[in-house]
């Protein structure tokens, strides 16, 4: 080899190294991501409801994380959404949270479903009996409230009862059929041995004889509390064995007589506002000669706070930074705070009713002849049958 050829060989760069191809997985299991990065993603999506809706639609683990973090992340600072069952659209309180309505997947009117309540991220509805002659078993339909995607049907314990309310707890499903008794079912996993209790795992329980119809159930400071249509405060203790299951009336003084507030349209509403337990009463007009024939209108919206040490309700004219939202159809109420950017005023009570979006009232509001908001609670409005209203699906239904 000539010297020139040798130097040319030394100066020639080595051939490029061809990387060995690495086998990539066919797909990434996004459902298997840990909660820490998912929570950070969810936090950055706020307050865009459409983005949160897309997050919930990815998979069931993501929906479970959304519900698990809703109490601390979503509920305190966002007003609720409303579902119109007829149009199957979900709308928001403020346009910048949701500029255009979302389409809801569950066609509830077509199924003939009747709403019992909204509880812990689900709509609880009764489905009619199957068959042309209305034979068969009535069923309770449990629908994921935010997306309508997840559904579950459970046969009710007996076709002979008229069920008027239901509630989901962390480990139980409760259905109420009278003011003297109710049924419970382990949820989400029914009892593996149905014969040990009632039909298909249902267990029957007695309510105190002096209690009226249960109108609401909520969790507060680790306790399960209930409220009757007469504003009686109940405590539920559902243990592992039926012998340890207790429902008792908590003695609490300070409320007006049950004949002075509305029980059938709005009814008393129990709501947890941080560490405060509040009660909303819609006070009725004084009785007159025509009150026995026509409905009495509401002339005051009163808020009471429970003094836990003395077990006494005290009327409050200020609820601080909280805003309360009351839904007629869903038989529920929710408290939000730090929602000024959403167009919500603090220390106000917002009521969702047919024919209007929201009407707001300060605690202790009393009707006057020139107040246009009084029409919401007028006799003519209270006499509408049926009073069709929107159903809200968020954020109250995450709990």
Predicted local distance difference test score (pLDDT) of residue 50: 79
Q: Are 384 and 132 in contact (CB under 8 A)?
A: no
**189 phi/psi in degrees, rounded to 5:** -105, 110
The pairing of beta strand 151-155 with beta strand 322-327: unpaired
Predicted local distance difference test score (pLDDT) of residue 241: 60
pLDDT tens digits, residue range 286-337?
876 654 555 678 889 999 999 999 999 999 999 999 999 887 766 778 888 8
Bridge partners, 224 (sequence order): 219, 236
Predicted local distance difference test score (pLDDT) of residue 194: 41
Which segments of the chain have a pLDDT < 70?
1-28, 71, 74-75, 94-96, 109-110, 129-136, 189-200, 240-244, 288-295, 329-330, 353-357, 370-376, 378-399
- pTM reported for the whole predicted model: 0.80
| Angle (deg, nearest 10), helices 35-45 and 60-73 | 60
């Amino acid at each position: 080899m000539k010297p020139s050829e040798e130097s040319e060989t030394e100066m020639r760069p080595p051939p490029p190294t061809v990387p060995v191809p690495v086998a990539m997985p066919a797909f990434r299991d996004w459902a298997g991501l840990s909660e820490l990065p998912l929570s950070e993603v969810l936090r950055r999506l706020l307050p865009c409801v459409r983005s949160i809706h897309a997050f919930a639609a990815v998979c069931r683990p993501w929906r479970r994380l959304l519900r698990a973090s809703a109490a601390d992340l979503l509920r305190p600072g966002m007003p609720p959404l409303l579902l119109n069952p007829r149009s199957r659209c979900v709308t928001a309180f403020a346009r910048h949270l949701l500029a255009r309505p979302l389409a809801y997947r569950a066609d509830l009117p077509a199924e003939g479903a009747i709403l019992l309540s909204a509880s812990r991220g689900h709509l609880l509805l009764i489905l009619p009996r199957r068959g042309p002659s209305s034979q068969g078993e009535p069923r309770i339909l449990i629908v994921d409230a935010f997306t309508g995607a997840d559904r579950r049907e459970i046969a009710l314990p007996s076709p002979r009862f008229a069920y008027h309310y239901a509630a989901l707890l962390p480990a139980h499903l409760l259905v109420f059929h009278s003011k003297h008794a109710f049924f419970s079912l382990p949820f989400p996993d029914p009892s593996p041995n149905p014969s040990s209790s009632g039909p298909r795992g249902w267990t029957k329980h007695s309510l105190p004889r002096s209690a009226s119809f249960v109108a609401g159930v909520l969790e507060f400071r680790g306790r399960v509390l209930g409220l009757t249509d007469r504003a009686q405060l109940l405590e539920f203790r559902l243990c592992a064995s039926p012998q340890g299951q207790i429902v008792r009336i908590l003695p609490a003084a300070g409320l007006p007589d049950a004949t002075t507030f509305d029980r059938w349209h709005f009814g008393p509403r129990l709501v947890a506002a941080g560490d405060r337990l509040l009660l909303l009463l819609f006070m009725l007009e004084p009785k007159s000669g025509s009150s026995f024939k026509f409905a009495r209108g509401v002339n005051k919206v009163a808020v009471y706070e429970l003094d836990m040490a003395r077990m006494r309700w005290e009327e409050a004219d200020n609820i601080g930074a909280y805003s309360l939202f009351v839904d007629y159809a869903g038989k529920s109420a929710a408290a939000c705070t730090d929602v000024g950017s959403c167009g919500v005023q603090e220390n106000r009570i917002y009521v969702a009713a047919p024919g209007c979006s929201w009407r707001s009232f300060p605690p202790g509001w009393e009707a006057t002849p020139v107040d246009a908001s009084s029409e919401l609670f007028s006799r003519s409005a209270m006499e509408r049958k049926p009073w069709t209203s929107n159903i809200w699906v968020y954020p109250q239904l995450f709990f």
